[in-house]
Chains A and B, each alone.
Chain A
Amino acid sequence: MARSVSVQAKAGYTIAAWVIALVLFSPILWVLLTAFKTEAEAIASRPTFLPETFTLENFAAVQERSDYFKHAINSIVVSVGSTLLGLVLGIPAAWAMAFAPTKRTKDVLMWMLSTKMMPAVGVLIPIYLIFRDLRLLDTVHGLTIIMTLINLPIIIWMLYTYFKEIPVDILEAARMDGAELWNEIVHVLVPMAVPGIASTLLLNVILAWNEAFWTITLTSGRAGTLTAFISSFSSPQGLFLAKLSAASLLAIAPILLLGWFSQKQLVRGLTFGAVK
């Protein structure tokens, strides 16, 4: 009896999970289908599900008008670069907060998180002026720096949570064996926290990849990433939905594939320490 209830519950959870997953995936599916429709079909007042006229002309038009590969390379450099830089800064900071806390550690963590609470536009003018004066406008390294800074609180918070799950005794044993701070972090802490570091890395690559406000505001062509690439296909006068969908599909495809292949690692990292 108990077994049949369990099977029913499992079936219910499975169905619910599928429904939620399909609802979440439906905008991406819509973009995928619209990218292969003609502009007229894309905006038809009685929308079609599958393309009536299957076309690749939107992808050709997108590539003709804009250099996809240049934007994609900028996206890769900025998202990977900012995440690696963030980890280099974040791992020692999270180590200090997790294993050498002071009475102000909680306040520092909250203060770091509070910087994410202000809308980005609130600091637009000061950041813009700093970038102008440091000649960082429309540069990939400038964009990498700002992306590191805006994601650093999340990196430190995630790593801090993972590090707190590692028994401090192991680190103390390493110290007893004569390990210095650098060796303790690199050879003991980091290998044990690989799942957490990997999921932090993946999540921050995704966040940096999808960031639009700063990448569009601080670039003007040369350092533009794929979010700037998508933005150029929206139009106030004229038909653009199919081309916009094609551009969006091209922009999200790499990160979608990355998420697909690394989902096991991502889920493992995100649930790390969730069950004690």
Chain B
Amino acid sequence: MKLTPIFVTAITLALATSASAQTLTIATVNNGDMVRMQALSPEFTKATGIELNWVVLEENTLRQNVTTDIATNGGQYDVMTIGTYEAPIWAKQGWLVPLDGLSADAGYDVNDILPPIRAGLSYEDKLYAAPFYGESSFIMYRKDLMEKAGLTMPDAPTWEFIGQAARAMTDRANDINGICLRGKAGWGENMAFLTAMSNSFGASWFDENWKPQFDQPEWKNTLDTYLSLMADAGPAGASSNGFNENLTLFQQGKCGMWIDATVAASFVTNPKDSTVADKVGFTLAPDNGLGKRGNWLWAWSLAIPKSSQNAEAAEKFINWATNKDYLATVAAADGWANVPPGTRSSLYANADYQAAAPFAKMTLDSINSADPAHPTVKPVPYTGVQFVAIPEFAGIATNVGQLFSAALAGQMTGDAALAQAQEATTRDMTRAGYIK
């Protein structure tokens, strides 16, 4: 009996505590820039009194959790970390709160956001997610190995030159591969790279009537080039390699070139982890003279689900985490080389940043050369550079990625992989109602 008053007091105290402070639940991925944001976030709490509850998850788990929550109007999260793939699709579904407050805030300066990134996060000209960090892809190469091969890397190389250089830099006896590219199956893995690469070969996923295009010569040219390049100059077991595996190979001096996310530049030039930190050069992703380069565009961004009960406070947090002052806060704490890249024009005009990040100009040029609204040489009915912004894409592209990865592993020919990709994608698009 004596326990009852204690129990009631404890509940009252707990309720009082929870009522006194507003708490935001933020779902994010375990990337370096996000971890830094989490570490700096007590400054936000100190300034606003808003407590933060962090949920840090592996990328695929995060995607599954936030998609389940937003599709069921679950309300577990107030701020979600999403990418340029989800933002327009979820905005069209009415699942996200438009960030009108940020757009109207002169101090936030929404016009400072890099135009391709802003376009990728908008739907019907309204911003639905604020970019936390943005990336394109470019070529990272070993200047010493290029010189040893008697070649000079152009500012804007072609695929023909990359093929020639990769084969010349390959030194199997010393375990040096001329080029390292993604081979691990997945829509965000090998298909991110191959879709961007196919754009520069004049290929596309679909024609204007949503008919799959894997039976066209442009895709055959893309896949044949990729497979022969990897056979002649790629690492063993490349069909299992994603970002992290190639990063490891490059940092340990096993790759002459690596075409991947611009965010990798800070990793490969960090002498703490990279054995080749002082030997790395950067240049634009290759093209074939068709007007499109093989680079992608992505931005990890912060958005507010419609189910959030704390939308106003959530927008305050997003304002704090993605405005210009945040970049200065990171610079003061960890130096300019560690500020989240790829979101704001003003960062690339900053002399301190340019001095600290030798890859800054090339990152900016790569981002600006991507056009999510017109990603391919031929007209297409979709947006997105290394993806097609339709809900069915993740599933379809993962299937196709498995076929292309099998071709890279030598389990089937490139032609067979393309034929099966065409058949499977046609079937899925017909079922989904795109093909009548």
Contact = CB atoms under 8 A, between A and B. Distances in A.
Given A132-B72, A216-B57, A238 B267 contact: yes
A236 B59 contact: yes
Contacts of B272: 40
Interface majority SS on A: helix, strand, loop or mixed? loop
B40 to A, nearest CB: 13
Nearest to B27: A220
A45 B180 CA distance: 14
B25 A221 contact: yes
A263 interface: no
A184 interface: no
B72 A232 contact: no
Tell me which of A124, A132, A235, A237 has the highest count of chain B C-beta atoms within 10 A of its own C-beta: A237
Interface stretch (B73-81, B380-388, B413-421): B73-81
Contacts of B61: 216, 231
B252 interface: yes
Given A220-B53, A234-B58, A235-B58, A240 B30 contact: yes
Interface string A192-231: 0000000000000000000000001100111010001001
Contacts of A216: 57, 61, 65
B321 interface: no
A222 B55 CA distance: 9
B209 interface: no
Contacts of A125: 68, 72
Contacts of A3: none
For the complex, would chain B's binding face be called helix, strand, loop or mixed by DSSP majority? mixed
Nearest to A221: B53
Given A217-B68, A235-B58, A128 B30 contact: no
A239 interface: yes
Interface in B15-41: 25, 27, 29-32, 35, 38-39
A45 B76 contact: no
A216 B27 CA distance: 12
B244 A65 contact: no
Contacts of B252: 44-45
A220 B68 contact: no
Contacts of B267: 238-239
Given A216-B57, A221-B54, A124 B68 contact: yes
A121 to B, nearest CB: 9
A236 B32 contact: no
A121 B242 CA distance: 26
Interchain residue pairs A-B with the least CB separation, the first 6: A232-B56, A234-B58, A220-B76, A221-B53, A235-B30, A236-B59
Interface of B: 25, 27, 29-32, 35, 38-39, 53-59, 61, 64-65, 68-69, 72-77, 188, 242-244, 247-249, 251-252, 254, 261, 263-264, 267, 272-273
22 contacts: A44-B252, A45-B252, A66-B56, A125-B68, A128-B69, A132-B75, A138-B76, A217-B68, A220-B25, A220-B53, A220-B76, A221-B54, A232-B55, A232-B56, A234-B30, A236-B244, A237-B32, A237-B243, A237-B264, A238-B32, A238-B244, A240-B30
Given A44-B252, A138-B76, A239-B244, 18 more contacts: A39-B273, A40-B272, A65-B35, A65-B38, A128-B74, A132-B73, A137-B76, A216-B61, A216-B65, A217-B64, A224-B55, A231-B61, A232-B55, A235-B29, A235-B244, A237-B243, A237-B244, A238-B31
